[in-house]
Structure 1
């Protein structure tokens, strides 16, 4: 069974997956997962073939998000991905979910989780640099946990930024959210409570020095060991959070060596984070894909869709 892509997730679904992630971090099931490093094979044309497996005895689930990233004639790349699922105890095939749907839900939910633990409770102003799919997940994730009064957007494409602004206004459903299309990245970030970056930039974005001392940044875009969206100085002077430290160092460089993993957000230490500058430097991890899949499997099983792990239909 292969699912088709779904419309943007409602806030309730994002919150439910956010809570599932929190529960898995609290109860130790993340630590009991088998999480080999992701594998990436690249050919001479620049095409990439990716495998991200994860096995959870607690969730009785084995998933492997497989993807292709193909260079296109224009800007950007074409990404195709699926997530086959199996019972970890019986080996039984449970179905295949659309990879983009799983990724988008995961990104919105983990953004909600980190933002809720790190952003000041009264945060009202969100800046977003970028206007693509991941930028939309940033709005969805942040708005799931904070009552926003203003959203500022900047993109290299003014037309894309304007379309994104219209989408936010339409999704606000009468709530008083002021959406501003900015003329520069500096304007989008100046003085905000929360800043989300979701771009393909290989050089640090011009994040303004006037960021408040309590500002929280979700850095969700391109990264390598030698390049990233945010300046190295910002990482050095902030509390940095990553999904998995081993992956972050391997894929985003030694500048992340002192970062905290998501599990630290469940401790009392994190209670002071809303009053410090924090950066969520996302590099992705298969355990979050697995938790997202587990939630979807359970909810679909309740409606007669994908069977629950370990059970016959």
Structure 2
């Protein structure tokens, strides 16, 4: 993936065009070789697997993600201290790495050689996560709306009418959230737990992606998989075994429909900063946005690729 001809970017949203130069700069800081790196995924972050070492480089794709990257490093260290089944930061390097106007983290690669993770796996990991003591640093309060609004502000490739509608939808949903009566004890939450954030390691699945870790309602951590069953075009029901393993079914709680609206808003806005710079996203994004705007809760969404 390394190139010597791509100009070094000066910050802002990451794009496929600027990614090689940013990767070169990050690897130069870390003393790693970017030659032959392979792109794993590029949505709101770019994740790349190095060919020269068992390392995954994760580069923040937008301003909204960059603001949480120091917290991600702190959370990863905290989870490692408690021997949680989670991905580990690459040791011996001061993190996060800031290079070419972008922020990145580097991780020990987990060989994806185990069986496909299940909802039951995620339910058990979430029970352990929610049982952890408070960390020795302050977690931010759960607030999905600030990040949603930042992504709308940073959006590329949508018109003013779409932008205004999304902001109005955000305000209406935030008001509804404030009126919720939660039943589970609040505390540290992952923020975005779903099977796609489990790596099928040789010793069992490990949890990744700590951008959304915060202090908030545990019901939120049970919502992504529940919404996935209702909204996403998944061939497997992960929600039922997750609820059984965790010991609670969030869909039976009266406030679930409100958190479903939050989750769907997150899923629609998450790629807005990359909508123009990563053209392949638009084909998945447009049906999501159209059905959300039409209050169509039956249309199934495909995953971003």
Q: TM-score, normalised by structure 1?
A: 0.27
TM (normalized to structure 2)? Answer: 0.28
User: When you count strand as a share of all residues, which structure comes out higher?
Assistant: 1
